[in-house]
Structure 1
C-alpha cells in the first residue's frame, strides 16, 4: 500500500504526524475503499482547522487508487479549495526523484555510482583526494560534507534564496569537512544539491529540464515541476501557512532556487502516476529500483537505514519533507 499526505503545516490542530496518519490509514487497508474514505474523512475532520488551510490524501493498493481527495483550502484568503491537482512543495520527498535521475543516467551508462564526485564535477574540491567522496556517499548521506541548511551557512536570507547549484558548489568548496566519508550516516541536504549538479553536468541540461524530460513528462505528470526561478509561477499552488504566537493562521513562505534536496512541486494525482511508473518499470529496471529501496551500509558495517532517496523501514520505504508552511509524506 502506498500513502501520500501533502498538507499545509497548520492544517491540523493536533500534533499527529504524517507517518502516524498513514499508520492509522493502513489499519483500514483490509476494508473497502468506501470504508477507507470514511476513516480518512474522520481523521481529517477531527484535526482540520475550520475554514483553514488543508491537506491532500492519496491511498494506493498495488497501484489501485482507493482514495484521492483534497480537504480545506490551498489559499485561505481567496478561499481556493485543495483538489487532487493542487501542487504542493514536496520538500525532501523530492530527494527520491533526484536519486531517480541519477539511476536513469546510471542505466544509460552515463555515470557510475561508485565513481568519485570529481569524475563528473572536476571543480569540486574534494577534502581527501586519496579517499574521495563517491556518488554513493551523497546518495546514502555518508559524505561528511557541510550542509548549507545547517549551522555552516553564514550568508543572508537573500543570498540563500538566490543560491544556485553552481553557487552552492563554490560555497561547499570553501567549507571544512565535518566527518570522514563513509563512516556514519548524517542527513545532508548539500549532498542532494550536489547530486542535482552532477545530473546537470552529465546530462548537459538544466536540472529542472532533465527532470521534466526524463521523469515527469514520460509518466504524464503534467502538474509536476522543479521550482528554479524566484519569479516562477506554480499553477494551483498550495500556499504555506503557520500558526502565530496568538494562535492565528498566517502565511509562511521562503522560496529559494536551489534544488535536488527539495523544490519539486507536485500533486497527489501526479504522485499516483509516479507510483504506477515505478511499479511498471517505466523509469528504471526492477533490480535498480530494488537497489534504491535497500539501505546503505557504511564502511564501518553499520546499516544506515537510508536507501537511494528513501528512508528504509522493515516492511516499507518512505520519505517525509517540510519547508516553511507545508509538510509532505510519501
Structure 2
C-alpha cells in the first residue's frame, strides 16, 4: 500500500521531537585540521538543508589522514518508527558499488585469481557473441570501454512493471546487440559492464557477491555496514528509502537494487565509506602498484580522461580529488571523495530520491568550508583563439534508444556559450580558468576541459565539483 506524507509536516515533527539532536560520533574529536568554527558551520549547513523539508534523512562523515573528525546523521532513517539518522545508518550507495567492485577486483588480481587482460568470454561461455564481444577484457569493463548497451532502463521497467528482477539469461539476451564501438576505443558509462564483472567475480571466487565483498573488504577493514542493499535493509540501523513527489513523500519507494550487485546494488554508512577511501589513500589495503593502476586515466585514442578503474578523478580549486558517486535518475544518493593534498576524505549519503538537497549538493556546500576555498565569481575575459572550441559535442546515449546527448559551443558577443540545443533554455557563458579549461557561474567548481590533439580540439571532458562526469567528442 502506498502512503504519501507532506514532507514539511513530518520535518516539523522531527524538529520538535528531536530538537535537531542528530547523533554525533563519540569518536569525534578536536583537530587543527577541522576547527570548531568550521565544524559549527558544517553543522549549520546540514541543519539548513534538512529544514528545507525535501529530505527525510542523510548522514555525512569527514576524516583527515584516516581519522574521522566529524560524523553525524540528520533527520530520520525511518518515518514510521521515527528512528533518527546517525553516522552509522546504512544507505543504498548505488554506483559507489562500482568503486568497491574495482577495489575487490584488484585484490583478486593481487591474489593471482584474475588479470586485467583476461577476456570475458574465457570466463562466461554463455556470454553473447556479437562482433567484437570476444575482445572485451576485464579492464574494458572497469573503464566503461566495453561498448555494451546499459541495462539500467530495461531493468527498471522490468522491476516496476512486472515486479521482478532479471535472470542471467535474460540479461545476456538484452545485451546481445551490436556494440557501440570497438572495445577499448571509446568510453560509454555502462552498468552492464559492472553487472557482467560481478558475475565473473562470483564465478572465480566460488562465492556470492555478498560473501566476496565482506571477505575481501568488509572484514579486513572492519566495515560492518558494507553489503548488498537487499541483504542489509532489514538491519536495525538501515534506513528506509523514500521518494519526493508532488504530493509529499512516497514511503513505498525502494531503491531499485534488488538484483544489482557490483553495478549499483551495495549499501554502507557514511563513516564506512570514509574509512574505505582513507584505507586506500594511506596504503593500508592495496599495494601501491594496484592503487596506481586504479588511478590511471582512461585513454581514448590520444585523449586521456579522468576515469580510472571504477574511480572518478579531477580537481577542486586546484586540489586533486578522487572517489565516486551514486544515484538514480539524476539524484545523487551517495558520494565519497578524497583530497590527497589536504588529507581530507568526505562522504555523504541520503535516503530521499529526487530531493534537490542531494549528496552532490551537500558536498558542494561543505567541502569549500573544510578546504578553506572561496566560491569563485567569474568575469568576462578575452579568450584566445575562441574559434577552435566552436562546434557540436556528442556523447553516446548509453541506453541505445535515443539520439546522442548533444551540447554546442558558440562564440557570441565576445563570450563562449555552452547550450543544449534540445531545450529552450538560454545557453550559459563559459569563463577561462586555465589553458583550454573553463567554468561557469551557476556551478563555479564545475569544469570543462577541452582536449587538443595536433592543435585541434577533439573532445571536452565535463566535471562536477571536481569529479569527472562525462566526455563528449567533437563532431
CA 1:272–1:312 in structure 2 vs 1: closer, same or farther (change >3 Å)?
A: closer
**Do structure 1's residue 163 and structure 2's residue 166 form an aligned pair?**
yes
Aligned partner of 1:79 in structure 2 is 82
Q: 1:292 aligns with which of 276, 291, 294?
A: 294
Structure 1 counterpart of 2:321: 316
* CA contact 1:104–1:284 (8 Å) conserved in 2: yes
Contact 2:98–2:310 (CA<8 Å) still a contact in 1? yes
**Greater relative CO (CA pairs within 8 A, separation 6+):** 1
- What is the rounded CA distance, in whole Å, between the counterparts of 2:178 and 2:155 in structure 1? 9
In the superposition, the TM-score normalised over structure 2's length comes to 0.58
SS across alignment from 1:297: strand
- 1:123 corresponding residue in structure 2: 126
**Residues 271-282 of structure 1 correspond to what in structure 2 (within 5 A)?**
271-282=273-284
Are the aligned partners of 1:241 and 1:326 in contact in 2 as well (CA < 8 Å)?
no
Matched residue of 2:303: which SS? coil
What's the TM-score once normalised by structure 1's chain length?
0.81
SS in 2 for 1:72: strand
Structure 1 unaligned blocks of 5 or more: 1-9, 14-28
**Residue 304 of structure 2: SS of its match in structure 1?**
coil
CA deviation string 1:31-64 (max 9, x = no partner): 6342232121121122214776121111112112
Q: Structure 1 residues 97-106 or 172-181, which shifts more?
A: 172-181
Q: Give the equivalent residue in structure 1 for 2:302.
A: 301
SS of equivalent residue, structure 1 residue 162: coil
**Equivalent residue number for residue 64 of structure 2:** 61
Q: Distance in 2 between matches of 1:206 and 1:113?
A: 21
Q: How does 1:174-189 map to 2 (within 5 A)?
A: 174-189=176-191
Contact preservation (8 Å) 1:146, 1:152: no
In the alignment, the residues of structure 2 paired with residue 303 and residue 107 of structure 1 have an alpha-carbon distance, to the nearest angstrom, of: 26
Distance in 2, Cα, partners of 1:319 & 1:131: 29
8 A contact 1:295–1:303 mirrored in 2: yes
- What is the aligned counterpart of 2:192 among 190, 193, 196? 190
Q: 1:288 to 1:94 in 2, by over 3 A?
A: same
Structure 2: gaps (5+ residues) = 1-6, 12-30, 337-475
Once the 2 structures are TM-superposed, how far is the Cα of residue 129 of structure 1 from its aligned partner? 5.0
Task: Give the corresponding residue for 2:141.
Answer: 138
Once the two structures are overlaid, the 10-residue window that deviates more, 57-66 or 122-131, is: 122-131
How many residues are aligned here?
A: 301
Offset of 1:192 from its aligned partner? 0.7
Cα distance, 1:39–1:112 mapped onto 2, change above 3 Å: same
Check whether the contact 2:109–2:115 (CA below 8 A) recurs between aligned residues: yes
Aligned to 1:216: 218
- The verdict on how the C-alpha distance between 1:250 and 1:134 changes in structure 2, with shifts beyond 3 A counting, is same
- The Cα shift of 1:143 comes to 0.9
Residue of structure 2 in register with 1:329 after alignment: 335
Q: Does 1:40 align with 2:42?
A: yes
SS at match of 1:194: helix
Give 1 or 2: higher strand fraction.
Answer: 2
Would the aligned equivalents of 1:224 and 1:264 in 2 still touch at CA under 8 Å?
A: yes
Structure index of larger Rg: 2
Change (3 A) 1:126 1:317: farther
> Secondary structure at 1:36's aligned position in 2?
helix
Partner SS for 2:47: helix
Q: What is the SS of the residue equivalent to 1:104?
A: helix
* 1:180 Cα deviation after fit: 2.6
Q: Tell whether the 8 Å contact from 2:77 to 2:238 is kept in structure 1 after alignment.
A: yes
Comparing 114-123 with 84-93, which one deviates more in the overlay?
Answer: 114-123
Q: For the residues of structure 2 that align with 1:183 and 1:159, how far apart are their CA atoms?
A: 36
**How far apart, in 2, do the equivalents of 1:276 and 1:170 lie?**
36
